[in-house]
């Protein structure tokens, strides 16, 4: 036993030295990585009235609506392996330790089984027992897992953090929020949205789908039908043809086109500068849906920059933290892309970010100028690499792959919610805007009266 322990010490010290070395790209030093991904392949979250595919058909991930499937688990394990290759195994960066270190990594998920299990599957890819990369020498007393029969050798469970879904306005962009409902209802009164909803071809499509589905189908609930049809056809192609004789690929494309346009409207795209009751509707929708997240991402970077030159206790946690992951949804990714002006580049030709899509924000510091930059990389689908750089498409980055952090700060400041979201969601913006308008009108009348009286003296 003593011989093995003594033999292992130089190895552990060598790994420690490697893990603390700066990761450089020319004069640029990698400071931190933040990854936001969509969960993997799942069952439908709900369906339409006439659908013969009941909940009993969906047995994956514990069974029921909206659960992660084995395909989804595999997709995220493979994404985790890609992240490990890029940031652990030196392809190209040996940034994180080979062995899981809780001081380096924090994983945050929405409170949904599919996102929690996606995060867990992702960590299996990053820190599972692949080729025994996360295993110390045999019989060493400092192993991180129970060395007993039945436990996968070398496997260390990684903590996944979450909060109740109803309180999560960071990652669950479609959860209950009265303010978002109010602003969206205002958006529907604009000529842009109302004329689209009332277009003859759109209304005809909704009418046909309503007849097929046995319930009212409209542009706002169309996503339910879109998801159900897509997944049912994938998993039960024979039964799908029998159960859904009215389906055609052409019809599905029409559903996709309308659903994608509604998604854009809901994220403020196409509504830039459109004013209703004194509110910039496009800006407010982006604030509500993506403002908290872009602030969180920026604040992590800003804090990392501030602490890079400080040895104070208040910076101890930040200095050690290197990888921050968010396990969320397609709507989360699309809200962020819409806010940053790259939705059209990330999702082509239309639709949602695909299963296991992942936006990676790398934070870099120029060691000569001490200026901080960020780089946005997008993993588009399960067969993609981590080489598609989106930063150059962000307005303000001037076509550069490395963009000054000041640009992200500008987005953060511009779209920062007016108050903490749990409070802002309950804020009656209509009474506020009307009372503000009334107060302004009263002030204007008093001013004019004062000028009239003064001039008559």
- DSSP at 58: -
pLDDT of residue 447: 44
Determine the average pLDDT of the residues in 430-447.
48
Determine the average pLDDT of the residues in 46-71.
97
Q: Give the span between the Cα atoms of 277 and 279, in whole angstroms.
A: 6
Residue whose entry in the numeric block shows the structure tokens 């303010």: 179
Average pLDDT score over the chain: 90
* Alpha-carbon distance values, 136 to 15, 71, 93, 233 (Å): 11, 30, 22, 46
Q: Angle of helix 200-213 relative to helix 222-235, nearest 10 degrees? A: 60
Determine the average pLDDT of the residues in 341-370.
96
pLDDT of residue 19: 42
Q: What is the maximal distance between C-alpha atoms in the chain?
A: 104
Contact (CB, 8 A) for 31 and 405: no
Determine the average pLDDT of the residues in 321-326.
98
Within 8 A by CB and 6+ apart from 386, the residues are 82, 83, 86, 360, 377, 379
Q: Got the DSSP string for 209-277?
A: HHHHHTS---TTTHHHHHHHHHHHHHH-HHHHHHH-TT--HHHHHHHHHHHHHHHHHHTTTT-TT-EET
Per-residue pLDDT band at 139 (split at 50, 70, 90): low
430 exposure class (CB count in 10 Å sphere: 0-12, 13-18, 19+): middle
Query: What is residue 172's three-state secondary structure?
Result: coil
Residues labelled as active-site residues: 39, 330
Residue 443 has pLDDT above 90, yes or no: no
> pLDDT exceeding 90 applies to what percent of the chain?
81
Q: Give the span between the Cα atoms of 378 and 359, in whole angstroms.
A: 5
Residue 213 has pLDDT above 60, yes or no: yes
Per-residue pLDDT band at 16 (split at 50, 70, 90): very low
Per-residue pLDDT band at 144 (split at 50, 70, 90): confident
Determine the average pLDDT of the residues in 115-129.
94
Residue 448 has pLDDT above 70, yes or no: no
Residue 436 has pLDDT above 50, yes or no: no
Residue whose entry in the numeric block shows the structure tokens 């080489």: 387
Query: What is residue 422's three-state secondary structure?
Result: helix
Pairing of strands 28-38, 279-280: unpaired
Q: Give the span between the Cα atoms of 260 and 254, in whole angstroms.
A: 10
Q: Give the span between the Cα atoms of 457 and 454, in whole angstroms.
A: 6
Contact (CB, 8 A) for 31 and 361: no
Per-residue pLDDT band at 196 (split at 50, 70, 90): very high
Residue 329 has pLDDT above 90, yes or no: yes
Q: Give the span between the Cα atoms of 271 and 280, in whole angstroms.
A: 8
Per-residue pLDDT band at 154 (split at 50, 70, 90): confident
| Least confident range of 3-7, 41-45, 232-236, 304-308 | 3-7
Determine the average pLDDT of the residues in 179-189.
98
Residue 404 has pLDDT above 50, yes or no: yes
Alpha helices in 267-291 (DSSP H): 281-286
What backbone phi and psi angles, to 5 degrees, belong to 376? -105, 120
| Domain locations in the chain as residue ranges | 2-169+283-413, 178-282, 427-456
Determine the average pLDDT of the residues in 200-225.
98
Residue 435 has pLDDT above 70, yes or no: no
* Alpha-carbon distance values, 381 to 102, 223, 299 (Å): 28, 20, 28
Does the domain formed by 2-169+283-413 have CATH 3.40.50.1240?
yes
Residue whose entry in the numeric block shows the structure tokens 């559903």: 255
pLDDT of residue 29: 97
Per-residue pLDDT band at 146 (split at 50, 70, 90): confident
Contact (CB, 8 A) for 282 and 272: yes
Residue 299 has pLDDT above 50, yes or no: yes
Higher pLDDT, 312 or 327: 327
| Least confident range of 168-172, 282-286, 309-313, 451-455 | 451-455
Per-residue pLDDT band at 186 (split at 50, 70, 90): very high
Q: Give the span between the Cα atoms of 133 and 100, in whole angstroms.
A: 11
Residue whose entry in the numeric block shows the structure tokens 């019989």: 139
Residue 216 has pLDDT above 90, yes or no: yes
Higher pLDDT, 292 or 136: 292
Determine the average pLDDT of the residues in 210-216.
98
Query: What is residue 416's three-state secondary structure?
Result: coil
360 closest CA partner among 339, 395, 336, 396: 336
Helices (H) and strands (E) in the chain, counts: 17, 9
Pairing of strands 323-328, 279-280: unpaired
Determine the average pLDDT of the residues in 27-32.
97
């Amino acid at each position: 036993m003593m011989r093995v322990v003594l033999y292992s010490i130089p190895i552990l010290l060598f790994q420690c030295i490697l893990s603390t070395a700066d990761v450089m790209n020319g004069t640029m030093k990698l400071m931190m990585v933040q990854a936001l991904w969509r969960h993997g392949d799942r069952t439908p979250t709900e369906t339409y009235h006439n659908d013969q595919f009941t909940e009993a058909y969906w047995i994956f991930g514990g069974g029921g609506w909206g659960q992660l499937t084995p395909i989804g688990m595999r997709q995220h394990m493979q994404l985790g392996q890609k992240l490990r290759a890029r940031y652990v195994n030196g392809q190209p960066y040996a940034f994180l330790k080979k062995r899981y270190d809780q001081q380096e990594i924090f994983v945050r998920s929405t409170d949904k089984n599919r996102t929690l299990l996606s995060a867990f599957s992702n960590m299996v890819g990053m820190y599972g027992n692949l080729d025994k990369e996360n295993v110390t020498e045999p019989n060493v007393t400092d192993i991180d897992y129970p060395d007993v029969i039945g436990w996968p050798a070398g496997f260390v469970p990684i903590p996944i953090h979450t909060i109740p879904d109803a309180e999560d306005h960071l990652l669950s962009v479609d959860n209950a929020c009265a303010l978002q409902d109010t602003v969206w209802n205002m958006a529907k009164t604009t000529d842009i949205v109302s004329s689209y909803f009332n277009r003859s071809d759109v209304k005809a499509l909704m009418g046909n789908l309503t007849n097929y589905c046995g319930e009212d189908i409209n542009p706002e609930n169309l996503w339910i039908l879109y998801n159900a049809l897509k997944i049912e056809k994938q998993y039960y192609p024979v039964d799908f043809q029998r159960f859904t004789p009215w389906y055609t690929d052409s019809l599905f494309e029409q559903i996709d086109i309308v659903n994608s346009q509604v998604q854009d409207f809901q994220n403020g795209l196409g509504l830039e500068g459109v004013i209703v009751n004194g509110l910039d509707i496009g800006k407010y929708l982006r604030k509500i849906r993506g403002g908290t997240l872009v602030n969180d991402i920026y604040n992590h970077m800003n804090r990392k920059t501030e602490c890079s030159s400080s040895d104070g206790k208040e910076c101890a946690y930040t200095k050690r933290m290197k990888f921050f992951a968010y396990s969320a949804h397609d709507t989360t990714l699309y809200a962020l892309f819409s806010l940053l002006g790259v939705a059209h580049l990330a999702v082509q030709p239309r639709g949602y970010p695909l299963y296991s899509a992942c936006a990676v924000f790398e934070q870099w510091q120029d060691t000569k100028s001490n200026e901080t930059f960020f780089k946005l990389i997008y993993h588009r689908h399960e067969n993609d690499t981590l080489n598609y750089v989106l930063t150059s498409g962000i307005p303000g980055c001037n076509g550069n792959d490395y963009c000054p952090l000041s640009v992200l700060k500008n987005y953060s400041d511009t779209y920062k919610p007016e108050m903490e979201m749990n409070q802002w969601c309950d804020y009656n913006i209509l009474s506020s805007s009307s009372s503000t308008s009334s107060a302004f009108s009263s002030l204007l009348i008093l001013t004019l009266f004062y000028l009239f009286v003064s001039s008559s003296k």
